[in-house]
Amino acid sequence: MHPWIADRTTAFDSSGIRKVFDLASQLKDPINLSIGQPDFDVPEPVQEACIEAIRSGKNGYALTQGMPVLREKLQKQIDDEYAHADRRVFVSSGTSGGLVLTMLSLVNPGDEVIIFDPYFVMYTSLVRLAGGEPVLIDTYPDFRIDINRVADAITPKTKLILCNSPANPTGITATAAELTGLAELAKERNVALVSDEIYRSFMYDDEFVSPASFNDQTIVIDGMSKSHAMTGWRVGFVHGPSEVIETMIKLQQYSFVCAPQPAQWAAAVAMDADISAHVAAYRRKRDLLVDGISDLYEVAKPGGAFYAFPKAPWATGAEFVTKAIENNLLIIPGNIFSLQDTHFRISYAAKDSTIERGIEVLRRLAKLEPQL
Judged by average pLDDT, the poorest of 34-43, 117-126, 156-165 is: 34-43
Q: Is the pLDDT of residue 357 over 80?
A: yes
- Give percent of the chain with pLDDT exceeding 90: 87
Position 12 scores a pLDDT of 73
What tens digit of pLDDT does each residue of 187-240 get? 999 999 999 999 999 999 999 999 999 999 999 999 999 988 889 999 999 999
Mean pLDDT of all residues in the chain?
A: 94
- Whole-structure pTM value: 0.94
Q: How far apart are CA 239 and CA 91, in angstroms?
A: 9
User: Are the CB atoms for 125 and 12 separated by under 8 Å?
Assistant: yes
Q: How far apart are CA 163 and CA 219, in angstroms?
A: 11
Task: Provide the angle, in degrees to the nearest 10, between the axes of the packed helices 94-106 and 122-129.
Answer: 40
What tens digit of pLDDT does each residue of 325-351 get? 999 999 999 999 999 999 999 999 999
First to last CA, the chain: 33
Give Cα separations from 224 to 24, 39, 44, 145, 278 (angstroms): 26, 14, 15, 26, 14
Side-chain-side CA neighbours of 274 within 13 Å: the count stands at 3
Is the sign of the CA dihedral 251, 255, 261, 263 positive or negative? Answer: negative
Confidence band of 29 (pLDDT split at 50, 70, 90): confident
**Percent helix, strand and coil across the chain, each to the nearest 5:** 40, 15, 45
**What angle is formed at CA 351 by the lines to CA 298 and CA 170, rounded to 5 degrees?**
30
**What angle is formed at CA 275 by the lines to CA 225 and CA 73, rounded to 5 degrees?**
65
Cis peptide before 211 (omega within 30 of 0): no
User: Are the CB atoms for 203 and 304 separated by under 8 Å?
Assistant: yes
Region 319-329: mean pLDDT is 93
In order of their start, the domains of the chain are 7-42+275-365 (3.90.1150.10), 58-270 (3.40.640.10)
User: Are the CB atoms for 204 and 304 separated by under 8 Å?
Assistant: yes
Position 21 scores a pLDDT of 67
By CB atoms closer than 10 A (0-12, 13-18, 19+), residue 22 is exposed
Give the strands of the sheet with 307-308, arranged side by side. 307-308, 344-347, 332-333
Position 24 scores a pLDDT of 66
Q: How far apart are CA 280 and CA 248, in angstroms?
A: 35
Side-chain-side CA neighbours of 43 within 13 Å: the count stands at 21
User: Are the CB atoms for 314 and 111 separated by under 8 Å?
Assistant: no
Region 79-105: mean pLDDT is 97
Position 309, amino acid: F
**What angle is formed at CA 337 by the lines to CA 335 and CA 342, rounded to 5 degrees?**
35
What tens digit of pLDDT does each residue of 294-312 get? 999 999 999 999 999 999 9
Pairwise pLDDT comparison (29 vs 83), residue with the higher score: 83
